[in-house]
Amino acid sequence: MRDVNGADAPGLHRDLPPLALLAEALSAAGHAVTLAGLTAAMQRLPAAVTASSPPVEWVRALANQAQLKGVSVLQLGWRRFDQRRLPALVRLDEGWFIAQAHARDAAPVDPSDETEDTVLLRDAQGEVHTCAESRLRDALVLWVRPRPTAAAPGASAGFLADNPALRLLWQAVFASRGWIVTVATATVVVNLLAVATSLFAMQVYDRVVPTLAYATLTTLVAGMAIATLMDWLLKILRARVLDSLAVSVDKTVSQQVFEHLLSLRLDLQPRSLGTLAAQVGGMESVRQFLTSSVLFGLIDLPFTLMFMAFIAVIGGPIAWVYAVLLPVAVGLGLVTQLRLRDLLKQQVSRSNERQGILVDAIRGAESIRAANAGWRFAQDWQHITDTIDAYAVQQKAISNTSQVTMGTLSSIAYVAAVVVGVWQIEAGTLTMGAMIACSILGGRVIGPVSQGVQYLTQWQSVRQSLDMVNQVLRLARDRGETQTLLVPEELPTQIALEKVRYSYPDSALKQLNIDRLTIQAGERVLVVGSIGCGKSTLLKVLAGLYRPAEGRVRLGDADLWEIEPQLLAGQVGYLPQSVHLFKGSLRNNLALSGTAGDSRLLKIASDLGVDAIASQSAQGMDLPLSEGGEGLSGGQKQLVALARVVINRPVVWLLDEPTASLDAESEARVWRVLAENVRPEDILVVATHRPQQAMKVATRVLVMHQGEVVHDGTPESILRTVATRPTPAPAPRRA
């Protein structure tokens, strides 16, 4: 690969990115900057900054010189970079590039690179390359955080303010407005062409039939052929545009909802997995609503007034028939929706309960079978199903009554229009052809209203789905969307809690109540205590998974909740007490973040004995695992989960019961591997009920009771204190 830095500004150090690429990265992040502005700012920078500063500090200094406000730059390795955040600057083989999405038609950086798992790279000269992702593992990444975007004027006004799901749909639908003109034009023309059918009938009955003027008939048929062809073409065009729009909206909104789910505060998530899955899956109903023919009916509905106007022009008093019956049809539709709204809400709620029972029954099948409790779950399932069926019967009754009534109104409108037409013919103010034309146009008035009632019935179901999605979207994220996050360059030398109070949502019980606790670099801390004393909650708070209601958690000099999550994930490693494996291969579960090199992965797997799992299958590390790691023992799952943490080698190690499911030999191996991989300056915090082996490496022991640290000292002093004080009591704690 050729050097791309030679074409940049004079005096620019080869380890720094070209100004052209930097300007592009800043622009992509929403900063108003030009290459000329960066070049001028570069000339004002001190020579020492350009020659010796790390790239991230140089970019910040350059941004200050260019008077760019709010520029946040993160420097990290590709292993730790979340590729969803592309584009970003990447340094590879002494050259700088803009890494973008994947591409097919590009010149490969290396002919030996495989076409799968490739990343598109573009250099300062605009030449495009593709590079195998494996070559980027050790590459340096400079990522400029996008500037928070202000909400569009009026976007949060009205009903959209309290309906985030509908607001997402609204923004996705109108993100590109080019389709509006196409669809609006096609709709207007299609409905105007519908009038041509009635005019054709009127001319045939009034001019062709009395005189048998075949020449006129031929002309009218030719005109109708052209109108019919145009109608077909425009409807096909409109359908394709709306289908493409629906697919684009579904892709955008579903992705945003799923990413919102991934970034939720874990302590605020609904406790019922079935309910949570149903809430997120509610967007499927919305997608089906958008992709069905409902849109066409709703778009055509306003044209009923236009058809009434044409009836008034052609048939005069016949229009009063539809003017009287139209409000009746609309009122019937509104009444139907009011009756269905509460009914559908109750039905959806019960459906979520049934979904929860299904998830519980699948996950706890062994316990249910062992306790012979299947009858109870079957009874609960039957009870909820009966309730749902009862709601469904009522819903069908209301919908069917509405549809039948609308059909009757349509028949009444037709008969009344014919009667009025006969009177007008008798009076000499209307022709036979005009009466038939009015009858045809009348079907375009009541018919769309009847369909509109059905669409509104479907909308009630969609509305309940949107309400379910809203319950997820209203949950707080772990970081604010407009929050300016910190990216400290130095590794943390301590982690501290200051006046931390934590309680689970809707609970008055304090799970944590710690005034001050500081853990310094190099300390090996053992957290012990009885069941429910708060050990696991403490580790989750330290890991940034649970956010305390009061107080602060500091990692180094920064508030943990103000640090960029990607940076935090690279510095803090957490092993949960209840480990979870995912569907995929054994290797994918070991390298869950995709940042591990194969050599380190294989070494840690061998040291922890995970390779024994792979050796039991001819597929080796490609051994397929099902959801939850079914097929592996509890100890094997724990070893795989622990290997994830060790492979990533964080700075702060938070391990919750790392050996709870292991035998003595495996436990000894785990502590030996930890001793080899935890660096002297790292922080190690272990919560365990089996402190015998851990005491050998611990330099400090915390004893917890009812969410408080009641003893804090060296292993020897704690053993003496616990032996002389069987009843825990609060005591001064070391900072």
- 3 state SS of 282: coil
Both structure tokens of 493: 């030398």
Q: Which of 91-105, 203-217, 545-559, 567-581 has the lowest mean pLDDT?
A: 91-105
Rank 87-96, 152-161, 298-307, 470-479 by mean pLDDT and report only the highest. Answer: 87-96
Quick check: 119 pLDDT over 60? yes
- Does residue 151 register a pLDDT over 60? no
Alpha-carbon distance of 394 to 75, in angstroms, equals 60
Residue 158 gets which letter from DSSP?
A: G
Same fold, 164-473 and 494-724: no
Q: What is the DSSP letter of 475?
A: S
Residue-wise pLDDT tens digits, 715-734: 888 877 655 554 444 444 44
Considering the segment(s) 494-724 as one domain, its CATH architecture is 3-Layer(aba) Sandwich (3.40)
What distance in Å separates the CA atoms of residue 718 and residue 94, rounded to the nearest whole number?
Answer: 54
Q: Residue 326 above 60 pLDDT?
A: yes
The answer to whether the CB of 517 falls within 8 A of the CB of 707 is: no
The dihedral through the CA atoms of 674, 680, 682, 683 has a sign that is: positive
User: First vs last Cα of the chain: how many Å apart?
Assistant: 53
Question: What local confidence, expressed as pLDDT, does residue 437 receive?
Answer: 85
Determine the pLDDT at residue 496.
92
Q: What CATH number does the domain located at 164-473 have?
A: 1.20.1560.10
Answer yes or no: are the C-beta atoms of 611 and 551 closer than 8 Å. no
Residue 16: C-alpha distances to residues 36, 52, 95, 96, 567 (Å): 17, 10, 9, 8, 21
Q: Mean pLDDT highest for which of 444-448, 490-494, 572-576?
A: 572-576
Q: Domain spans of the chain?
A: 19-144, 164-473, 494-724
Q: Give the pLDDT of residue 108.
A: 46
**Are 451 and 329 contacting, i.e. CB atoms less than 8 angstroms apart?**
no
- Using the Cα atoms of residue 360, residue 362, residue 367 and residue 368 in order, give the sign of their dihedral: positive
Q: pTM surpassing 0.75?
A: no
Please determine, for residue 545, whether its predicted confidence score (pLDDT) is greater than 90.
no
- The architecture of the domain spanning 19-144 is Alpha-Beta Complex (3.90)
Q: What is the mean pLDDT of the segment spanning 577-594?
A: 81
- Find out whether 454 and 460 touch, Cβ atoms under 8 Å: no
- Alpha helix positions (H), 94-163: none
More confidently predicted of 88 and 628: 88
Place of tokens 């790239």: 55
Could you write out the three-class secondary structure of 343-391? HHHHHHHHHHHHHHHHHHHHHCHHHHHHHCCHHHHHHHHHHHHHHHHHH
Inform me whether the pLDDT recorded for 362 exceeds 50: yes
Query: To 10 degrees, what angle do helices 273-280 and 432-473 make?
Result: 140
In whole angstroms, how large is the CA radius of gyration of the chain? 35
pLDDT in tens, 616-659: 878 888 888 887 777 788 888 889 889 888 988 889 999 999 88
Write out pLDDT tens, residues 372-423: 888 888 888 888 888 888 888 888 888 888 878 888 888 888 888 888 888 8
The arithmetic mean of pLDDT across residues 535-546, rounded, is 90
Alpha carbons 345 and 460: distance in angstroms, whole number: 9
High-pLDDT (> 90) share of the chain, %: 8
Name the residue with higher pLDDT: 182 or 478.
Answer: 182
User: Using omega within 30 degrees of 0 as the cis cutoff, is the peptide bond preceding 448 cis?
Assistant: no
Mean pLDDT for all residues in the chain = 79
User: For the purposes of burial, counting CB atoms within 10 Å of the CB of 104, is it exposed (0-12), middle (13-18) or buried (19 or more)?
Assistant: exposed
Rounded distance between C-alpha atoms, residue 598 and residue 570, angstroms: 18
Encoded amino acid at 533, one letter: C
- 473 pLDDT band, cuts 50/70/90, is confident
